[in-house]
Amino acid sequence: MKIGFVGAGRVGKSLAFLFKRAKHEVIGVYSRTQNSCNEFTKFVGNGKTFENLKELAKECEVVFITTNDDSIQQVCEGLSPYLSSEQFVFHCSGLLTTQALTSAKAKGCEVGAMHPIQSIPNPHYGIMNLPHSYFDIQCSPGAELVAERLVKDLKCTPIKILPEEKVYNHLASCMVSNYQVSLFDAALKLYENTSISKDLASQMLSHLSKQTVINLENLGPLRALTGPIMRGDVGTVKKHLKSIKDDNVMILYQKVGLILLKLAEQRGRIKKKQAEQIKNLLENTDKHG
Ligand SMILES: NC(=O)c1ccc[n+]([C@@H]2O[C@H](COP(=O)([O-])OP(=O)(O)OC[C@H]3O[C@@H](n4cnc5c(N)ncnc54)[C@H](OP(=O)(O)O)[C@@H]3O)[C@@H](O)[C@H]2O)c1
């Protein structure tokens, strides 16, 4: 298909590269800045830079709006006057639905939200990580088959989702991915108090983190849970709390610890008395030092 992009960012570049590899024709890109357009065409290896939405709309069967979420509706409204009913318009937001593409729908286009459930920190990682990922898709009826085909061409799996379900899927994805990044960062900073280098600490924690994900995938959260809270080691939790100097890390340890405690109780390994003691420690917002 003849595919054009509005928004020459991480997702736009990654998808364009992969669609080209899947033998689609990447027509080109329109973006806010010329510099991003140049980077896009260089990265993808073909396609041209459009100076306006009108010219881009003329040449494409499919337009992907890969701007930031807050710009999608407005970009679609700018694009819609130049669209006709044979064209398809997609965006990649995890949260927004086809509602953001109402103006294109009003022109008779078929529209869809095609959201990669993947973290794309830059286009190089995008083209490496996207194949074999999942995409949730929420489309107008006439766009479903095209969306599924495009997702499969990326060697990914399409999952149909209802508009009202998107927020939960997006929330879950953000917690598992973005929150993991902040958890990792907070953990890494604890090594500033040690003789272990940041690089070595990062390697050790990455290794642990990968294995934890494998355990989770194979065993589920309840059986994958290990650690002092699961065992009911009150003394260890006390020492942890005494060693935390950063207020945010303290909040994190305590709040997430309470969720861990519930899992531990469900798992049934922790004794009632120890669970109560740990709960008291985690609920006590005073300094533990
Ligand atoms: N990155 C991820 O991990 C990820 C994962 C899943 C879904 N998504 C979704 O994918 C979409 C794109 O995200 P991204 O991470 O690729 O964002 P990004 O790297 O920040 O790129 C957004 C691009 O949109 C362009 N842009 C912004 N406003 C514009 C406008 N009014 N007209 C034309 N171009 C405009 C920017 O242009 P300039 O560079 O020219 O200023 C920028 O290149 C979002 O809907 C996001 O929710 C992202």
The CATH number covering residue 156 comes to 3.40.50.720
Secondary structure (DSSP) of 256-278: HHHHHHHHHHHHT-S-HHHHHHH
In ligand 1, which atom is closest to the CA atom of 35? Answer: 40
Asked if residue 288 is part of any domain, the answer here is no
**126, 161, 196: which is the final residue of a domain?**
161
Residue 7 Cα, ligand 1 centroid: separation in angstroms? 6
Are 71 and 196 members of one domain?
A: no
Q: What is the mean pLDDT of residues 15-29?
A: 98
Tell me which residue range forms the domain holding 26: 2-161
Q: Are 223 and 260 in contact (CB under 8 A)?
A: no
Asked if residue 177 is part of any domain, the answer here is yes
Are 38 and 120 members of one domain?
A: yes
**113, 137, 161: which is the final residue of a domain?**
161
Are 32 and 130 members of one domain?
A: yes
**161, 194, 221: which is the final residue of a domain?**
161
245-260 per-position pLDDT tens digit: 999 999 999 999 999 9
Q: What is the average pLDDT score of the chain? A: 96
Are 213 and 152 members of one domain?
A: no
Residue 62 Cα, ligand 1 centroid: separation in angstroms? 17
Q: What is the mean pLDDT of residues 21-45?
A: 97
> Residue 269: what pLDDT?
86
Are 62 and 97 members of one domain?
A: yes
127-148 per-position pLDDT tens digit: 999 999 999 999 999 999 999 9
Tell whether ligand 1 has an atom less than 6 A from the beta carbon of residue 8: yes
- Reported in sequence order, the residue ranges of the chain that DSSP labels E, i.e. its strands, are 2-6, 25-30, 48-49, 62-65, 88-91, 110-116, 134-139, 157-160
In three-state secondary structure terms, 63 is strand
Asked if residue 11 is part of any domain, the answer here is yes
- Residue 70 buriedness (CB in 10 A; 0-12 / 13-18 / 19+): exposed
**pLDDT for residue 289 is more than 90:** no
Are 258 and 188 members of one domain?
A: yes
Q: What is the mean pLDDT of residues 254-270?
A: 95
Residue 9 Cα, ligand 1 centroid: separation in angstroms? 5
Question: Which bin fits 278, alpha (ψ -120 to 50), beta or left (φ > 0)?
Answer: alpha
**pLDDT for residue 186 is more than 80:** yes
Q: Report the predicted TM-score, pTM, of the whole model to 2 decimal places.
A: 0.93
Are 157 and 173 members of one domain?
A: no
Residue 148 Cα, ligand 1 centroid: separation in angstroms? 22
List the one residue out of 247, 241, 245, 249 whose CA is nearest residue 278: 241
Are 100 and 202 members of one domain?
A: no
In ligand 1, which atom is closest to the CA atom of 74? Answer: 31
**pLDDT for residue 218 is more than 80:** yes
> Residue 287: what pLDDT?
58
List the one residue out of 141, 213, 152, 150 whose CA is nearest residue 183: 213
Asked if residue 289 is part of any domain, the answer here is no
